[in-house]
A and B are shown apart, each in its own frame.
Chain A
Amino acid sequence: MSRQKNIRNFCIVAHIDHGKSTLADRLLEETGTVAKRDLTEQLLDSMDIEKERGITIKLTPTTMKYSEDGVDYELNLIDTPGHVDFTYEVSRSLTACEGAILIVDATQGVEAQTLANVYLAIENDLEILPVINKIDLPSADIEKTKREIEDVIGIPCDNVPCVSAKCGTNIADVLKEVVKSFPCPKGDEDKPLKALIFDSYYDNFKGAVCLVRIVDGSVKKGSKIKFWTTGNTYDVTEVGVFTPRLTEKNELLAGNVGYICASIKNVSETKVGDTITSAETPCNEPLAGYKEVKPVVFSGVFCVEGDKYNDLKDALEKLKLNDASLEYVPEVSQALGFGFRCGFLGLLHMEIIQERLEREFDLDLITTAPTVNYRITKTNGEVLDISNPADMPETQAIARMEEPMVKVNIFTPPDYVGELMKLCQEKRGIHLDLQYIDTSRCQLIYKMPLNEIVFDFFDQLKSRSRGYASLDYDLIGYEDSDLVKLDILLNGEVCDALSLIVHKEKAYQRGRAIAEKLKDVIPRQLFEIPIQAAVGNKVIARETIKALRKDVLAKCYGGDITRKRKLLEKQKRGKKRMRRIGSVEIPSEAFISILKID
């Protein structure tokens, strides 16, 4: 027990941009875990996309050594992904900790996502230590931020550390408070092994690496372990801690945070939230709270160049190695050819996957409009879950339709309340609550269909609030809805990749907008092309692309034929990126352009 007295396991909860990574780096530096000269870049952000956008999806956990009054402490910093898409993963990370540092930007105050994660932390019985950051900025208002934390979260803020992670001001205060206010772990190392997987990733040499918190018992190289949900057993090949690089140890004991490798082929075996126990003397029951994560947002993913299908398949397989929550099944579209219908945890997750496919695997993608999972009860009693408009049954065969609803929580300065309420109304929102937190902040709560959120809601929210509003949402179940399938016809033929499932009242407006957009992005061809938006057999909007009249290179270029051929080659490449519906050629940009329509 005395060993565990000197261990502190904690995480950092923060809104994007409030300085989580910077503070983490400072803690590493202050404890001497990493030398200052190595801290030129934010160390714990590991993906390119994270570094580039300055957002952190997942931090590497780190074990730090810290001494105070002659006592040596082991501080384990565990990350919580800073985005609503990963709520479940956040909750698992939180259960691996006894305490949470809550960073609040002294210039911004508490934001929706922070709040959601703080509530999660409170639910998980964590001790919360608020830290007010960015006090070096002229617009910092420490007193107001303290009041806001007390009002909204209900945590007294008398002695909270006020820091500037950027300048390195008062970092020592944070470490002191961590030791003082966070409880130590209280596991029993003599009991059978019970370890929580709070994350995992795939390593080419080690196989799946499980990031674990040892709750009870111990584990070392050679131990036989069992995964509770799958029942699979393995021989441990290596255990260790993160410093932040992988550092092998003899064993991990109750209270420790570290990693376990056991030549596991696939991260889908090492499910976040699962319990690892001893294969020989298993514990009586698993840790509570395990959940199978299910995707909520779906989109078709295709390659611009049709012959790259196998590359896309390989890329998805590779990403899946490290991301058990990514789901995909093959899909064939008449317009886009062979591709995959992918399921994501949310919009950010979708964006990250698409971006990684394009960037790390050098693929040019066409993605179809994101959809959600609709529940359809047919007249014959059969119940279908569909996320692909192509799977929608005939209207006559549908008895009942349901769509997923979410509770949306928006934080905004009062100036934008009107505009945002209007936005929520436009998106079929039902007003639940409006609270003035203080003179500069409001909280808006709406019930809204998820399908409205996945389509352009976040961009609209940001643009209508000049970037000030923040958003968080929670799935709250299914409700009856009057949905229709909106088809787009080009020269009389349905383009399956452009079909959408929309609410009946939205069909006209959306159909118009898409037809107008397509008119702009589809180049003129040798004949006139009617664009129609239709629900069933009823055409609800129509535009026309006039025929191309002139496309000839009426210039000589003094014998420079290469220049002419390069132009032709450019056109050929352009043509290769075109998709065909009947006799109409559609540039891949057209499919992407309709994803951004008001």
Chain B
Amino acid sequence: MDKIGIYVHFPFCVKKCNYCNFNSYANKNDMQLKYFQALLSEIAMYKNEKVEVDTIFIGGGTPSVMFDGAVSTVISEIRKNFKVLESAEITIEANPNSITKTKIQEWKECGVNRVSIGLQSANANTLKLLGRTHTRQDYIQAIKDVQSAGIHNVNTDCLIGLPRQKLSDVRRMLGLVTKLDCSHISVYSLILEEDTPLFHMVNSRQVKLPKEEKVLGMYNFANKFLNEKGFVRYEVSNFSKDGFECKHNLNTWKMHSYLGFGAGAHGFFNNKRYSNVETIEDYIRIINISQKPIKETEKLTKTQMYEEFVMLGLRTKFGINIKHIQEIFGIDILKKYAEKITYFKKLGFVDIENGNLFVTDEGMPVLNKIILELVT
């Protein structure tokens, strides 16, 4: 049987962060119950798929703001409709100040074995600027609570390239996270999304983002610092201790299938990428007339499959397998892109080991360029 991942989206937040343009809503918490019911119905719609589930990722929004019992019921609904493997990785995202001991207990009992906590910044002023509702202390407490409940696979999300952020801020933030013994750390670079409050603050020059060179410095520093602390960068923005890579995300980069449940969730199934309707209202309405809430479906062409394979595979430290590409797509990349690969090798941006072409630490900061050249 095919193994797949499952992504579940909870689009609720206490407050929307100033940089966020993701599908999440503040002040809609009165719709939680109806949404929850719709979500259960959507999961049941897929019960006939003959698949095994090896990862579940509960993301948002902020899943930890869901009412008690919601998460465990959703997971048991998944178990009811799919065969979830004993060894499955089950992750939940959480906000430091909406985590409670009761919730952690509930998660633990329903099989959650990985918690991802959004810290973003360890600087009080920056947290305020970003519109985050928690403090550094809330974060420390949350990690400790999760760990003492026996969940030791813990991730922390960190942001670099933030307004007024300095290299020393990044050092302090990563110092804190490593000291708390997280097994996994994501270091994302802020992307200024259009029409977010932060976008307007930057445009009206209320705040200034650090220069590209500085952000690059932070990114390279993070890699060096975390390497010394025993972490390996296994993907552009993801670091982990050995054996603690996020399986769910790795599967995404490897183009394994996954189903997405919830408003605005994305899935990749039978070589089709699909996404659900985004608003909570539309989602509930469509489920209530017993239809799948799918907004768009796109069957990937062979070329698109190849492009995604390269685009996603090169994000990881494993890179792309040359033989594999020859077999699936009939493309001999060493021949077809010989000149470009030689050029990138000369610059020290890519390397080949054990039949895999991968991007080096030097090449990672300009990954987009490398990908572009290998698909055109």
Residues of A near any B CB (own CB < 8 A): 526, 548-562, 564-565, 568, 571-572, 575-576
Assembled-state Cα–Cα distance A226/B129 (Å) = 83
Residues of chain B lying within 8 A (CB to CB) of residue A562:
266, 273, 275, 296, 298
Of the listed stretches B42-50, B69-77, B134-142, B307-315, name the one at the interface; the rest are far from the partner chain: B307-315
Whether B372 contacts A555 by the Cβ 8 Å rule is no
A51 to chain B, nearest CB (A): 34
Q: In angstroms, how far is the closest chain B Cβ from the Cβ of A598? A: 27
Given A549-B213, A551-B367, does the pair A558, B347 have CB atoms closer than 8 Å?
no
Within 8 A of A (CB), among B349-376: 349, 364-369, 371-372, 375-376
Quick one: closest B residue to A567, CB to CB? B368
B308→A565 contact, CB < 8 A: yes
CB of B29 within 8 A of chain A? no
How near does chain B come to A126, taking the closest CB pair, in angstroms?
Answer: 59
| A550 and B216 form a contact (CB under 8 A) | yes
Contact status A561-B371, CB under 8 Å:
no
Residues of A contacting B237 with CB < 8 Å?
Answer: 554-556
B364 touches A561 (CB 8 A): no
Q: Closest CB of chain B to A200's CB: distance in Å? A: 47
With A549-B213, A552-B236, A568-B307 known as contacts, the answer to whether A561 contacts B189 (CB < 8 A) is no
Q: Is B90 interfacial (CB 8 A cutoff)?
A: no
Closest 8 CB pairs of A and B: A554-B189, A552-B367, A551-B368, A554-B237, A550-B216, A559-B266, A550-B365, A560-B266
Bound-complex Cα distance A260 to B237 (A):
74
Verify B298–A551 contact, CB threshold 8 A: no
List 20 contacting pairs A-B, 8 Å CB cutoff, sorted by A. A548-B366, A549-B213, A550-B365, A550-B366, A553-B236, A554-B187, A554-B189, A554-B219, A558-B59, A559-B7, A559-B57, A559-B258, A559-B267, A561-B266, A568-B311, A568-B368, A568-B371, A568-B375, A571-B368, A571-B372
**Min CB gap A553→B, angstroms:** 6
Q: Is the CB of A568 within 8 A of B372?
A: yes
Q: Which residues B273-290 have CB closer than 8 A to chain A?
A: 273, 275
Chain B residues in 8 Å Cβ range of A559: 7, 57, 252, 258, 260, 265-268
A558: nearest residue on chain B (CB-CB)?
B59
B245-264 near A? 1/0 per residue, CB < 8 Å? 00001001000001010000
Q: Is the CB of A561 within 8 A of B219?
A: no
B308 touches A575 (CB 8 A): no
- Are B22 and A565 neighbours in the complex by a CB distance under 8 Å? no
Residues in A with CB closer than 8 Å to B296 are: 562
Query: What residue in chain B is nearest A554 (Cβ atoms)?
Result: B189
Whether B304 lies near A565 (C-beta < 8 A) is: yes
A-B pair count, CB < 8 Å, reads 97
Closest to B57 in A: A559
Q: With A and B bound together, what is the CA distance between A548 and B304 in angstroms?
A: 27
B-side interface residues, number (CB < 8 Å) = 46
Is B188 an interface residue, CB under 8 A from the partner? yes
Decide: A550 and B219 in contact? CB cutoff 8 A. Answer: yes
Since A552-B366, A558-B59 are in contact, a sample of 10 more A-B pairs with Cβ atoms closer than 8 Å, ordered by chain A residue number, is A526-B347, A553-B191, A554-B189, A555-B237, A558-B7, A561-B266, A561-B273, A562-B273, A562-B275, A565-B311
Of A554, A555, A556, A564, chain B has the most CB atoms within 10 Å of the CB of A554
Contact digits for B161-182, partner A, Cβ 8 Å, 1 yes 0 no: 0000000000000000000000
Distance (whole angstroms) from the CB of A138 to the closest CB of chain B: 40
Whether B215 sits at the interface, judged by CB under 8 Å, is yes
Asked whether A549 and B372 contact (CB < 8 A) given A554-B236, A555-B237, A559-B252, the answer is no
State whether A549 touches B273 (Cβ < 8 A): no
- Pair A555/B191 contact, Cβ less than 8 Å: yes
Q: A549-B216, A555-B191, A571-B372 are in contact. Are A561 and B366 (CB under 8 A)?
A: no
Q: Kindly list chain A residues whose C-beta atoms are within 8 Å of the C-beta of B9.
A: 558
B218 → chain A closest CB, angstroms: 10
Tell me, rounded to whole Å, the shortest Cβ–Cβ distance linking B293 to chain A: 16
Residues of B within 8 A of A549 (CB): 212-213, 216, 365-366
Chain A residues within 8 Å of B219, by CB: 550, 554
Give chain B nearest CB distance to A35 CB in angstroms: 50
What residues on B are CB-neighbors of A557 within 8 Å?
22
| Interchain CB contact under 8 A, A572 and B213 | no
Query: Shortest Cβ distance from A160 into chain B, in angstroms?
Result: 56
Closest to B23 in A: A558
Taking CB atoms, residues of chain B closer than 8 Å to A556 are: 186, 188, 237, 249
Interface pair A561/B268, CB less than 8 Å apart? yes
CA distance A554 to B158 in the complex (A): 12
CB distance from B222 to the nearest CB of A (A): 10
Q: Is the CB of A575 within 8 A of B347?
A: no
Q: Is the CB of A554 within 8 A of B268?
A: no
Q: In whole angstroms, how far apart are the Cα atoms of A576 and B237 in the complex?
A: 29
Report the Cα distance A557→B186, complex, angstroms.
13
Whether the Cβ atoms of A554 and B188 lie closer than 8 Å is yes
Chain A contacts for B212, CB-based, 8 A: 549-550
Contacting pair B22 A551 (CB below 8 A):
no
Residue of B nearest to A549 (CB): B216
